[in-house]
Amino acid sequence: MHFTWAAAKTNKATDPYRDWFDHVYQPGDAGALGYELVLVKIKPTGSPASIANTLTWLAGKVDEATAASDFLMDNVERARLARWIEDPLSDGAPDLFLHKKRSVSAFAKTYKAEFDVIPNGAARPAQPSTTQPTKPLLPPVVAVVDDAIGYLNARFCTQNGGLRKTRLQGIWLQTEDELVKNGTKRSMQNGQQIGADAIDALLAQGAQLDESAEYAAINEALFGKRISPIWHGITAGAGSELASTHGTHVADIAAGADPADVSNPLLSCPMLAVQLPPQAVEDTSGSKLQPYAVRAVRWIIEQADALAVNGQHRPLIVNLSLGVLAGSKDGTSLIERQIAAEVLRREARTGMPMRVVFAFGNDNLTRQTGYMELNPNKPQDVTLRVQSEDYTPSFVELRGDRPEDMLLQLECLQADPLALGAIPAGKSVSLNTVSGQAVARVYSIKPQPLDGGGTTAAYYVLAIAPTASFEGGKPLAPSGAWKITLGTNGTKQDVRIEVQRDDRPLGFSALARQSYLDDHSLWIWKEPKKTPYTPPADGPVTPRGSHSAWVSENMVEQVYSVGAALEDTGFAAPYSATGAPYVAKNPSVSAIGDSSWTLRGVMASGTLSGTTAVLSGTSVAAPQITRELAILFASNPNIGPWRTPAQNAADEMTALKDLLWSFEPKYQLDQLGPLTVSREDGIRSRMDQGY
């Protein structure tokens, strides 16, 4: 089959991932797929103009929504709206998630009097002003946002005699947003929230409790036999029926404890959890994941606020051991901007510290990042290896200092080259079959305005269809070598090349095969060297900048990123992502990802009580820092709202460094950060005794 590059066409897509998924899988506009999630910032309306007027108007629109309505709101967001109407906020204009009807092209213009659409999150508020302490800190709330979580696990309980009580004050089992019809009315629903009383009622069964049967029952109610609308042919089941789940493992490391160990300070720490939808977790491009994760953090904040004692709020620590590789990495992503806003708002409102802990990433060795220093009239090239039998799309992001001057050429099997040239912002170029079906597309994404001022950077995205499919008639791209040639028109510029991760996470069918970058310089073996900073590569493919796209140099001090180390060496685990001078230079801190080259992973709980599992990565390093921060806050240190964020951050690092199992690394500081955490007395089963 021969393919041909078509002429550039106007393309209004601001999310090339979503646009390409729609093209490849052709889901249509039925049900919830007929809507897309948008974040809006509320404006005052009425006479006199007020936020309360707009919120009341919005509630009426949502409650009376029909098939003809322009937007809906999910049940969790609608409950938030009701609370704001009853108890108005004092910290400025609120923001809410709406489900916009995808056929409404002029949505922002239609409702410009009521709200602004802010797809990249809210502007960052000022750091909260310091206050004077009146009471010691209450034990903090520890929260986890992850995939399947075994919420009945004994590691999340206290025990009095033979009776267990859960420490989980609530868990939100998210599903994909689901359209609900009630006569002519329409609404959007998302999953199920389970409170402590409901969990305790199950735990009261004691030895008669069948945890696996309970998980199977709730999964059947939530997911049934539905098929994922993103990856056709793959059942969107729930991982809590597996022996080991990423979410349970991470939650145990973050805050799990032996329920009978009354000396463990973690038993005084309430827990919260959000189990993300399987479809969002399996979409490792992050297009679907970000809004679900942001909504999870917002829900956690509200639940934590409800755990105040006599008007005094608790510190809050949230662990998010997820991420994506390709992205802006400049602080303009939805998740980074919105979580920063949520953290600062909560600290200002409650007077209590909040921390969010991210994993730095595991893609140091996956050959998915490249870097070129381009000079005029000297194009450079790199090869993208697109694998056969890949049932998912491949994506490559190209981000230059001056994207308007960047020149692109593409060559692949069975197609004439796309000639070297620039693609104007807001347009796209497709690689078509003889019948006109696109099997690849280059999007030139133009800058988008940011709430509070400024814009996102323009960039290119190369989207490639799967090379295999379960269904006939779907677009299939040629596998093999895709040569990417980049140049610059008139001025020197640097370009980042990032292949988006699309391999399958724990518990999902391994139907994706990761595309990666290749270059002849990689074929020459070189003796590894320990250097103070990872040097530039000989060719365009480099581990530099291989960290999560949710981490940047612009993070607020209340947000940590965590790398992984080998316990027996103190050096970075080989997979632990590397920072770069042109993005985030290093993680905030590091912890153990593996005990040694031969003894891999960190041991923690399996899904069911009494079971164990071993997992590796920055995903298990991050909750170790979450755990130590929880113990630190529970000990009533000189850390709190009466001190500035910079003072708190310095004191927290000092406290971590003072632990018996911490030491300073000598090499590869770009990977390890200012501190490496090492448990010198070995890994302990199920993270007992403070670990």
DSSP string, 310-323: TTBPPPEEEEE---
In whole numbers, what is the pLDDT of the chain averaged over residues? 86
Q: Of the candidates 135, 129, 124, 133, which has an alpha carbon nearest to the alpha carbon of residue 95?
A: 124
Q: Characterize the bridge pairing of strands 369-374 and 354-359.
A: unpaired
pLDDT value of residue 9:
95
Are 358 and 375 in the same domain? Answer: no
Domain assignment of residue 134, yes or no = no
User: pLDDT class for 232, splitting at 50, 70, 90?
Assistant: very low
Determine which of 268-272, 539-543, 576-580, 680-684 has the lowest per-residue pLDDT on average: 680-684
Domain assignment of residue 180, yes or no = yes
Are 358 and 461 in the same domain? Answer: no
CA 164 to chain centre: 33
Are 670 and 576 in the same domain? Answer: yes
- Over residues 335-360, mean pLDDT: 93
Determine which of 226-240, 355-369, 643-657 has the lowest per-residue pLDDT on average: 226-240
Q: Which helix (H) or strand (E) holds 278?
A: helix 278-282
Q: Is the peptide bond before 543 cis (omega within 30 degrees of 0)?
A: no
Give the 3-state secondary structure of residue 258: coil
CATH number of the domain residue 245 falls in: 3.40.50.200
Residue 348 phi, psi (nearest 5): -70, -35
- Over residues 289-296, mean pLDDT: 94
Are 171 and 60 in the same domain? Answer: no
CATH number of the domain residue 446 falls in: 2.60.120.380
Q: Who's near 194: CB < 8 A, 6+ residues apart?
A: 151, 170, 171, 173
User: pLDDT class for 505, splitting at 50, 70, 90?
Assistant: low
User: pLDDT class for 27, splitting at 50, 70, 90?
Assistant: low
Cα separation, 194 vs 214, whole angstroms: 13
Are 292 and 202 in the same domain? Answer: yes
Determine which of 20-34, 159-173, 218-232, 397-411 has the lowest per-residue pLDDT on average: 218-232
What's the longest Cα–Cα distance across the chain? Answer: 77
Cα separation, 255 vs 139, whole angstroms: 12
From 482, 500, 519, the end of a domain falls on 519
pLDDT digits (tens, 9 = 90+) for 118-161: 999 999 998 877 655 556 789 999 999 999 999 999 999 999 88
Q: Of the candidates 267, 75, 262, 256, which has an alpha carbon nearest to the alpha carbon of residue 179?
A: 75
Cα separation, 154 vs 182, whole angstroms: 40
pLDDT digits (tens, 9 = 90+) for 471-489: 888 899 999 999 999 999 9
Domain assignment of residue 527, yes or no = no
CB 557 within 8 A of CB 543: no
Are 208 and 288 in the same domain? Answer: yes
Domain assignment of residue 340, yes or no = yes
pLDDT surpasses 90 at 580: no
Query: What's the predicted TM-score (pTM) here?
Result: 0.93
Domain range for 278 is: 141-363+548-687
Determine which of 150-164, 356-370, 499-513 has the lowest per-residue pLDDT on average: 499-513
pLDDT, greater one: 44 or 473: 44
DSSP string for residues in 68-110: T-SEE-BHHHHHHHHHHHHS--SSSS-EEEEEEETT-TTHHHH
Q: Extract the tokens encoding 405.
A: 């001057």
- Quote the number of domains for the chain: 3
Are 215 and 280 in the same domain? Answer: yes
Are 295 and 319 in the same domain? Answer: yes
pLDDT surpasses 90 at 454: yes
Quick one: what percent of the chain has pLDDT higher than 90? 59
Domain assignment of residue 535, yes or no = no
* Gyration radius of the chain's alpha carbons: 25
Residue 641 phi, psi (nearest 5): -70, -10
Domain assignment of residue 228, yes or no = yes
Are 225 and 272 in the same domain? Answer: yes
pLDDT digits (tens, 9 = 90+) for 625-679: 999 999 989 886 777 666 777 788 788 877 776 765 555 554 444 455 555 554 4
- Over residues 434-459, mean pLDDT: 95
Domain assignment of residue 525, yes or no = no
Domain assignment of residue 53, yes or no = yes
pLDDT value of residue 28:
58
Are 574 and 667 in the same domain? Answer: yes
pLDDT, greater one: 229 or 403: 403
User: pLDDT class for 426, splitting at 50, 70, 90?
Assistant: very high
Are 173 and 226 in the same domain? Answer: yes
Are 55 and 202 in the same domain? Answer: no
- Over residues 381-387, mean pLDDT: 96
User: pLDDT class for 21, splitting at 50, 70, 90?
Assistant: confident
pLDDT surpasses 70 at 114: yes
Determine which of 25-34, 141-150, 585-594 has the lowest per-residue pLDDT on average: 25-34
pLDDT surpasses 70 at 511: no
pLDDT, greater one: 535 or 75: 75
